[in-house]
Amino acid sequence: MKKLFQLQAREDYLNIIILVVRVSVAFLMITHGLPKLEKLLAGGEIKFGDPIGLGPGISLGLAVFSEFFCSILIGLGLGTRLASIPLIITMAVAAFISHGPDPIARKELALLYLLIYVILFVVGGRKFSIDTIIHKKMN
């Protein structure tokens, strides 16, 4: 019972849980980004939302970059903090602009992803990441 109310978390547990979160959220977001990548590569007229007025093609390209390519980087733990920034922006746009007037149930998924990406921005890739390997080689 005492362990349930313990305020300190073991460093090993934190490293493992961040690894699990990184890989899981990367996999889940790639399932959103892959169809967009296929739509982008298919050619033809691009029909995609333009929530911030950049044009459908640019909006789709930015969504593909963040949801597909940045997710791969987060899963690998390569530039985790940097890769989380486009995803934070994408999820903020999805939650507050694209689904701004919608009920909370419609924005919930984007808000949950946003929360995870903000946490990853703050904590980084932690021990089990390529970021750590690069950091060790630089020092």
Domain boundaries, the chain: 11-138
Question: Cβ neighbours of residue 100 under 8 Å, at least 6 residues apart?
Answer: 107
Largest Cα span, the chain = 62
* Contact assessment for residue 69 and residue 90, using Cβ atoms and an 8 Å cutoff: no
Neighbours of 16 (CB within 10 A): 14
Predicted confidence at residue 3, as pLDDT, reads 79
Residues 6+ apart with CB under 8 A from 82: 73
Task: State both tokens at 82.
Answer: 């940097």
Per-residue pLDDT tens digits of the chain, which is 139 residues long: 787 888 888 899 999 999 999 999 999 999 999 999 999 999 889 999 999 999 999 999 999 999 999 999 999 999 999 999 999 999 999 999 999 999 999 999 999 999 999 999 999 999 999 999 999 999 9
Of the candidates 114, 35, 24, the residue with the CA atom closest to the CA atom of residue 74:
24
